[in-house]
Structure 1
Amino acid sequence: MHTKLINDQLRAGIRNGGGAILAILIFGTVGYMQLEGWGALDAFYMTVITISTVGITEVHPLSDAGRMFTSLLIFGGVGVMAYSLGRFAEFMFQRSVTNVLGRRSMMKKIASMKQHIIICGYGRTGTRLVSEMMSAGKPFVVIDDNEDAAKRMDQLGIPHIPGDATEEETLEQANLQQAESLVAALGTDADNLFLTLTASGLSSELRIIARVHDPDNTRKFHKAGASRVVSPISTGVNQITQLLTRPYVVDLVELVASDKSIALEVIEHEIGDNSTMLNQSLAEARVRQTLGALVIAVKHNDGTTAFDPGPEMRLRLGDTLVAIRQPDESDQSI
């Protein structure tokens, strides 16, 4: 807030100085035209060389009145120029210091992040992801080497790292070892594939979600270490197919996902070492009372998923419960 106040004051100083310079130029031009009978161009040029004190010879010989006018113009013009240039230099210095300190503060914040999302690419996909992460309150950092994108993120206060996301050094600056997931949303499949290889090599535990333009490349991404591969083409075709075959189901899912007034959300709960649900059946674990949620699937540690599990299903270490609940209900201690 204090920095913003200083910047506003400096901008006001620059505006006032610019207005004063314009007034001096008009005053000098009109004065020479009236006193010496010069044309507008000669009068303007004489005014410029006078207030800038460059020492160039007079355009035309001056009368006594013209010399007096020139003297007054020098005193007034030099003062105005000194003030304006001083405010401009002060503004540029303050801006540089603010950028350096702001960048340092942002990098410090990124270095302290844990279980965050790394979004590589601030294009159409990246901007939508950022909006969703901000709405969900999920910590994230964006990597993009585009200068215009960096300026937009600076203005919006989005934590970001300007650089090549495929470089190990850039990923390490994003605190990759502490990240929960990485989204590869660069411009081409080749860049996303190389990014996936680099990221999976740096952290084998990292969940990598890669966007692929050509669905035929999906297998390559899985081999490179991607946990999930998303193809806009395949997703679009699947959605159209569902709209044609099961339109009411799609309408219901989209309504729940998009309408913020509907108090319903899907949650994931992992069964850890300290969970009271460990080695218990769903009936014994009393999930509905404990989590305040209805279990719709259980993802086992071996990668298989049991949908609509029965009450007799026993929960093992590493299992993940997928459930739906009212978001205003607070989680209870497990």
Structure 2
Amino acid sequence: LILKRLRAPLILLLLAYTIAIAGLSLIPGIDADGNPVNMTIFQSFYFISYVSTTIGFGEIPYEFTDAQRLWVTFCIYLTVISWLVAIGNIISLLQDPALQSVWKRQRFIRQTTRINQKFFIICGYGETGEMLLEHLVEKGHHCVVLDNDPERINLLDLNSSVYSVPYLLADVSEVETLKMAGLENPYCRAILAVTNNDRINVKVAVTAKLLRSNVKVICRVNSKESMANAKSFDTDYVVNSSRIYAESFSLAFRKPSIQQLTLSLLRRSGKPYVNQLNPPKGHWIICGYDEFGQEMARFLDYEGMDYTLISSDETLTVPHVHGRGTESVTLRAADIDKSVGLIAGTQDDTDNFSIIMTARHLKPNLFLAARQNLDGNRLIFENAEIDSVMESSRLVMWQILPLITQPRLTHFLRLVRHQDEAWGQALMAELKTLSDTVPATYLLKINERKAPAVIHHLASGNILRLQELFMKDSKQPDKPLVLPLMLIRDGKEELLPKLSTAIKTGDIFLLASSDNVREQVLYTVVHDQDFHYVIHGEEKPVSIVMDIVKNRIKAYKNQQRQRRKYKLLKQAAAEKAQAQTDADKISNQSAVQGIEEAIETSDATTQPAPALNSKKPKP
């Protein structure tokens, strides 16, 4: 393409240089001695080069003759004009959309072929695709984006948070486009067809399954026909936002805690729990009867609810009130005074918001549900204090994310739907005790790759229970740190296993805890040192030498302890003997003193008294 576009300018430039150099070489000049002399081809080329580029170096060996000056003047105009034409064509070529498209495709192919890690292909960068990309990149996953809308691709190019993501402006339904995106790459894990066109999404799903049957394909659809068509080609997951919301709304009539549980666990960790939805039973009004309205009507029928349809469709054959629902007259004709709830489900957010405001004015205590078609209007619907809002793009995103990142969680939520309301209330109470916000859900796989420290511990014949893997909080020792949601053992699922469950090789636990606890346990089961410390409360020696040194130190400490104990006992015995000796000495002294006193008393009583008239003996 480049040579084709630049052929004429290059030929013109080549001819101009050839004529200028040839003429300058043939026209004779005069040297300093007055002798005629001709410039060589190289000298002519050198001179024309700096003249035609307007540099004007000025290195001339001698003065030109008038004939040479005349020819140089002609050459200046000829070569400068040729260069202007060539430069203009080069600039035009660089701005050519076809050339830029070729360059971008080549760069895109180089980027996708260099991917040597697991990645996902996102077909469609609308609201759903944008939210999916941001969440996947935030979790550390690699992605490739395809879209046929230049404006959305430009928005992706300006998004600094996903600057390293390969993207391409192309028709996502073409086979070559999917191949360039890496469909045949063994690291490709899933194709996410999330455009706003059902036909394109179904075609992408069919193409992906035909070219590579083992890749996971998730297809977004809006109609029942497209849903059936996608399923007929063994599409792994078909996501219909209208069906998902209608099922969840229907479940809230019978099991509000189960409905709250399923929606809360799909949210990002750290977010507040979804408020429990308690729609009243009675007469309902449905405004709008497209795919969303039909799904809501079908599930209200399933729950045994009476309803009135409001639609402006002239071709509608089912009984309905004609109108949009934004007028008070239409709502009164639909018996709003006898109704307990209203669903604003048209394809226009302005009409839905107007229906909600009109209905609230007519009956303030009415249960209100609204359909939000564009994510940009989210703030309006949030401030309107509507009881339930169906956010189509966000709902699809939260359904697709666990399908490709946590399929076990999706399976757990399917099993949860079959439990009773009391079971759901008990589990919600445990989750709220565990954390004030939505906990992180993750898998703990007991195998050599994911938990080598646990495998080594079990291989030694030790018994390990799940609760031993978590260090209790010293500030709140009674507060649970983790909640086991499901245990998969030998292909069988067990809901809410106990923390005292003995761990076996091959077990898969679905756990709920805070992000910090999740990082701690996933790190512990991999590293032997940390695992040994958590289990035994002491550090594990890193080698045989350290083990010997540790045993020697331990024996030395025991020996010193025994010596101190013996010394204390010896000192106590000596003190006791000394005390006994002192006591005996004092006792002996008391006895001697008593004897002496007794003798003196005895002598005093036995000596005779002297006579009164007796004379003193002579000396």
Whether TM exceeds 0.5 here: the answer is: yes
Match for residue 143 of structure 1? 146
Match for residue 193 of structure 1? 202
1:125 deviates by 2.0
Deviations 1:166-221 (A, max 9, x none): 33322222222312222121333332222122212333332222212224554543
Match for residue 326 of structure 1? 514
1:284 deviates by 5.2
1:84-123 matches, within 5 Å, as: 107-113=109-115, 114-123=117-126
Identity of aligned residues (%): 19
Match for residue 172 of structure 1? 179
Change (3 A) 1:188 1:95: closer
Selected match of 1:204 from 208, 213, 216: 213
1:237 deviates by 0.7
Matched, 1:260 2:270: yes
Give the match's secondary structure for 1:180.
Answer: strand
1:163-312 matches, within 5 Å, as: 163-176=170-183, 177-215=186-224, 217-247=226-256, 250-251=259-260, 253-254=263-264, 257=267, 260=270, 262=437, 264-270=439-445, 274=449, 276=452, 286-290=465-469, 294-298=483-487, 305-309=493-497, 311=501
Alpha-carbon distance in 2 for matches of 1:91, 1:301: 66
**Corresponding letter in the other structure for 2:119:** H
Give the match's secondary structure for 1:297.
Answer: strand
TM-score by length of structure 1 reads: 0.57
Match for residue 135 of structure 2? 132
**Which is further off, 121-130 or 261-270?**
261-270
Alpha-carbon distance in 1 for matches of 2:101, 2:204: 29
**Corresponding letter in the other structure for 2:484:** V
Alpha-carbon distance in 1 for matches of 2:444, 2:215: 18
1:309 deviates by 4.5
Instruction: Report how many residues are paired.
Output: 246
Whether contact under 8 Å (1:256, 1:264) holds in the other structure is no
Whether contact under 8 Å (2:269, 2:440) holds in the other structure is no
Whether contact under 8 Å (2:147, 2:170) holds in the other structure is yes
Give the match's secondary structure for 1:257.
Answer: coil
Structure with larger Rg: 2
Change (3 A) 1:256 1:321: same
1:232 deviates by 0.5
Whether contact under 8 Å (1:193, 1:224) holds in the other structure is no
Deviations 1:54-91 (A, max 9, x none): xxxxxxxxxxxxxxxxxxxxxxxxxxxxxxxx9xx989
**Which is further off, 178-187 or 215-224?**
215-224
Alpha-carbon distance in 2 for matches of 1:175, 1:272: 31
Structure 1: 5+ residue runs without aligned partners?
1-85
Alpha-carbon distance in 1 for matches of 2:199, 2:101: 34
Change (3 A) 1:322 1:255: closer
Alpha-carbon distance in 2 for matches of 1:300, 1:207: 24
1:65-80 matches, within 5 Å, as: none
**Corresponding letter in the other structure for 2:485:** I
Selected match of 1:154 from 149, 152, 157: 157
Structure 2: 5+ residue runs without aligned partners?
1-86, 272-436, 472-481, 527-619
**Corresponding letter in the other structure for 1:266:** T
Match for residue 65 of structure 1? none
Alpha-carbon distance in 1 for matches of 2:95, 2:200: 38
1:301 deviates by 8.6
Alpha-carbon distance in 2 for matches of 1:128, 1:263: 19
Alpha-carbon distance in 2 for matches of 1:300, 1:223: 32
Change (3 A) 1:308 1:120: same
**Which is further off, 210-219 or 122-131?**
210-219
Change (3 A) 1:259 1:309: closer
1:149 deviates by 1.9
Whether contact under 8 Å (1:269, 1:321) holds in the other structure is yes
Change (3 A) 1:142 1:296: same
